[in-house]
Amino acid sequence: MARPDFRERLATGKPLVLDGAMGSELQRRGVWVSHGAIEGKLGAWSATAMRDAPDVVRAVHEDYFRAGADIATTNSFWTNSVKLGLVGLGDRAADYTRLAGKIAVDARDRLRPQAYVAGGMAPPHGGLAKVDPVDLPREFSMQAQALRESGVDLLLIEYIGHVDDIVMAIDAVAPTGLPVMVGIREITAAGLMQHGETFDQLMTALGPRTVDAILLMCSSPAAITAGLPRLRRAFAGPIGGYPNIGYDRSTDHFDARHPWHSLDTTTYTPAQLAADASRWLAMGARIVGGCCATTPDHIAALRQAMP
């Protein structure tokens, strides 16, 4: 049976389950994700797993598909030349991005053929500052093209927070013609965007550009609960959320004996995520999943909670 068109499936089918974390899950499985990290800077993070542990990346995708994920996100969050350049791998950015897509697509084709693969990418610098207006379009254009060549079904622009950056990113990936989802990071406890901008301002800035879904991500579950109604009022298209449940900056991240982040998978259970996701679905969410520190067990619980 042919896989339904993603836009049609999103508009007319049941809500979709997005997969869970990749970076923290790689760390949990023993992959070193702190190459290039120094005090105050994260380094290349999970991008180096495309060199060091592609088989573990494949296993993570497989476990999420077995748990019932309808959408897998490629391990290309920071496979850009800026981040990989920190560890001397900048010239491999397109290759690693393409490999990330191929691994996810292969896992999908073998285990859950009706599911979708989202080509993930995040701004090449991260942090609180706006992204360099040269780096973002250059890197996103490169990654989007490599991901399209790998066979992904859609693109996921994630961990992005400034309105101007979101607009710039959407313009950069538009030439691929692929559906585009946006994951807005670090929603506040009051349900607002990280830097004081509003969802209404975002919609005004986007103008006629097409965005196939907007998700709230890398935020506490409570913040997503607060933010979704605000997003719903501003944006008529598909919405959703995938929370960070306990992956925090470690004070000793620059020590080679320790990871950049501390990982806590015990204080927020799969059942709690399923309960929160049920609330988000009642608010109109069409896509729910997990971000930092979520595991295949969390995604399995989401699958069981879906209508």
Tell me the domains of the chain and their CATH numbers. 6-305 (3.20.20.330)
Tell me how far apart the alpha carbons of residues 241 and 261 are, in angstroms, rounded to a whole number: 22
The Cα diameter of the chain in Å comes to 51
Which tokens sit at 18?
């997005």
pLDDT at 127: 56
pLDDT at 46: 95
pLDDT at 255: 47
Phi/psi for 184 (5° steps) reads -90, 130
pTM confidence score: 0.94
**Hey, is 257 helix, strand or coil?**
coil
pLDDT in tens, the chain (307 residues): 689 999 999 998 899 999 999 999 998 899 988 888 876 677 899 999 999 999 999 999 999 999 999 999 999 999 999 999 999 999 999 999 999 999 999 999 999 999 999 999 999 976 555 567 789 999 999 999 999 999 999 999 999 999 999 999 999 999 999 999 999 999 999 999 999 999 999 999 999 999 999 999 999 999 999 999 999 999 999 999 999 998 765 545 444 445 555 555 567 899 999 999 999 999 999 999 999 999 999 999 999 999 8
pLDDT at 254: 43
